[in-house]
Structures are given as structure tokens and as C-alpha cells.
Amino acid sequence: QAPAAAAGSAAAEKTASRASAEKAGQAAAATAAASAASTASAGAKASAAATAKRASTAKTTMVARVQDDDASDEAPEAKLTVRARVQKKGWTKEKTATAGTEVEVGTTGKGLRIDQLRFQLNLPDDAKGGIQVQVHMGGMGWQAVDKAAAGNLLSAGAAGKTIEAIRIMLVGDISRFYDICYRGHVQNVGWQKWARNGDVAGTTGRGLRMEALRVKLVQKKKPEDEESTGIVAVRGKGHVMRGGWTAWLSDDVAIGTTGASRALNAVKLDLDAGSLGGRVLVRAKLKGAAWSAYKEGEVGNARSARIIEALGMKLAGGVADRFD
């Protein structure tokens, strides 16, 4: 019995030893798994931190680019060259309009039509855009739209025909920075109001020739300048007896002559009302006649010997609310 008891005791010890070893192995495995999980967690955190850092850098770079773009979002320098082909005279000299200036081509007071016009829009190399022109020809109606990219010549109209009306537009990026404004001098009508960006200047269906054209580029206002009225300016010219028409004058300069005994027999006034809109109206008291009605443009008669004795002027429209 003693040997049998000893054998049973030894077997029990082996079983206990195996159980203890299994528990130790399980504990070691659990420890290894925990260590691996901790390492993976640390790696994930490091990866997330690196990703966050990269995202922050990309965002900062993007903001910096946007800020740079905004800082350089200034109107590029634009120049518009214009020529007209005038009846009996041929092509006029090229005239170039820049921002804030205007050019005039054609003739007034001579009864001569314009039959062709040429335009060329010039921009810096890094600016994009172009110009579109459509003309209404006597007996032919509206013609196809002519288009030209910056730097290219655009020709509209036809030799020997009559331009009666015109539409002009800027296209592409340049149209974000500038408006194109234009007005026609029309047979039996004189100078019309300013049109812009595709509006019609001239007349249709009346058989009246366009005799001259004025064009200017006007830089668009930035959002922070919305309250600005733009430049408001009036100018005028007078017809002096035995002297003819004076040049266009502005900025508080006298129209006519002093000390020469030469009276005025006609006066023209023109108003640029900026964003306010409006007109300047004028009336005249001629010798031996009553006061004329208020009208826009010209009063008196350059072909008459009847002199102007007095003038009256007033503003109308939006500009009249802000200026006298």
C-alpha cells in the first residue's frame, strides 16, 4: 500500500505541475497580447498625430495660397485701341483708351457716316479675356457677333455701308475688373446717353447713320467701395461767334471768350454721373426769343446769328440727390 500511495502522490504532483505550467503560459500569452495591444495603440496614436500634423500643414498652406491670391487680385492694366472708317475720309488714326479715359472716333457736324470700326484689346501676358462687337447696318440689320481675344484685331462693319447701332462687350476674366462704356453720335440726334456691357448705342429702324463713337474702360468697384459714388464730373463746350467750337472743358474753367466781343450762340453740356446715374439739363435765353425748354445736350444754334443772353442748368436723376 505504501508504494501505491507514493505513486498516487507523484501522479498528483505531475498533474498540479502541468496545471501550473498551463496557467503560467496563459498569463504570459495574456501579457504578450496586452503588450502588443499597447504597442498597436501607441502606433495608432502616433500615426493619428502624424496625420493630424500633415492635415494642419496642408490647411495652413491652402489658407496661405488663398491669401496670396486675394492679395494679387488687382485689375490688370487694360488698353483698348479704336479706329473708324469715315465716309470720304477713310480710316481715322488709332486712339487708345485706358482705365478712366475715353476716346472719340469719327466726326460730328459734317454729316459723314461711319461704315467700319476696328478694336484691339491689349492685356498683360498673365491676363485673359477678349472683346465682342455686333453692329446694326443700314438695310442689313444686326450682323453676326465679331469676337477677338486680347491682342488680336477685330473689325466690324463693311466699306460703303452704314453703321446705325452697336453693342460692345468684354468677355473672360477681364470682364470681372472692367465695364466697357460707349455712346454714339447719331444723325439728327447728337450724342446719346452712355451704354455699357452689351447695351445698344445708336438707333435701329430709323435709317439714321452713326457719325461718331466714344468708348471708355471703367474699372469696377471692389465690394468695400460699394458706398462710393464714383467720379461725378460735368464738362462743356461753347460755339463762339466767328470762332467756332471750343474744346471740351471742365473743372471750373470758363467756356467762351472775354474781352473779344464774341458772343456764344450754342453750348453743349455732358455729365458722367458715376454709379449715381442722372443727367445735366440746360436751357437758353436767345436774343429776341423766350426761354427754351430744359433739355439734355446742346442748346442754341451754332449756325444762327442769334446769340445766347442767359443760361439755366439743373441736375436730374440720382445725381441730383447728392449734388447741386
Better-scored residue on pLDDT, 11 or 161: 161
**Is the predicted pLDDT of residue 66 greater than 70, yes or no?**
no
Q: Of the ranges 64-68, 69-73, 187-191, which is most confident?
A: 187-191
pTM for the predicted model, two decimal places: 0.51
In tens, the pLDDT along 147-199 reads: 999 999 999 999 999 999 999 999 999 998 999 999 999 999 999 999 989 99
The region of weakest confidence among 66-70, 110-114, 285-289, 310-314 is 66-70
At position 131, the amino acid (one-letter code) is: I
243 pLDDT tier (thresholds 50, 70, 90):
confident
C-alpha distance from residue 38 to each of 32, 35, 45, 49 (Å): 10, 5, 10, 16
Domain boundaries, the chain: 1-73, 79-220, 233-321
Give the model's confidence band at 258: pLDDT under 50 very low, under 70 low, under 90 confident, else very high.
Answer: confident
Cell digits of residue 152: 488680336
Q: Give the Cα separation of 272 and 315 in Å (integer).
A: 12
Mean pLDDT of the chain: 79
Q: Name the grid cell of 194.
A: 452712355
